[in-house]
Amino acid sequence: MAGYLDAYGAGDERRNRIIKRIIIVFAAVVVAAVSLYLVFDNYREKQVVKRFLAQVNSGRYQEAYQDWACTEGHAHPCPEYSYKKFMEDWGAKSNEKGWSISDVDGCPTGVVVTVSAPGLEAQPLWVQRSDKSLSFSPWPECQGKRWRFRQFFRRVLGG
């Protein structure tokens, strides 16, 4: 026959297990959300630059110039940046085919994507968020006061 106090505290143990599970699930959801944000933050803008660099690296300069939005068919043709100047900056004269993305810094209106190639100085590019247009960035990183968690963790972790 069961005693009066045999089940004493069983409800508390069950409640504690439920609370622990809820906390673990909540922490996992937060970690997953932060991870997804870091992976997909500025994703579309990075894809614009990746496509541009793939064209430059493979020698398809005419397509790369069109992605720069410097043709007559675009809403914002850039007469100040001729195809000749484009070829001086990105073309076969530079003899570099290893352009890659080295850093990304998101701003409210656009993204500064720093690209680099072996033996050349890193070049910041600007991708406008509204129309995904590509140009040279006026700054090496976004301006203004804001939290810079990525730079902090890179310095701390040595990345």
Q: Does any domain span residue 72?
A: yes
Residue 76 pLDDT exceeds 70: no
The domain in which residue 32 lies consists of: 7-40
Mean pLDDT, residues 84-94 taken together? 77
The mean pLDDT value of the chain amounts to 82
| Residue 36 shares a structural domain with residue 57 | no
| Residue 84 shares a structural domain with residue 152 | yes
| Residue 145 shares a structural domain with residue 133 | yes
Q: Tell me how far apart the alpha carbons of residues 90 and 9 are, in angstroms, rounded to a whole number.
A: 73
Residue 1 pLDDT exceeds 60: no
Q: Does any domain span residue 1?
A: no
Q: Tell me how far apart the alpha carbons of residues 42 and 78 are, in angstroms, rounded to a whole number.
A: 25
| Residue 32 shares a structural domain with residue 48 | no
Share of the chain above pLDDT 90, in %: 25
pLDDT of residue 82: 81
pLDDT of residue 115: 92
Residue 121 pLDDT exceeds 60: yes
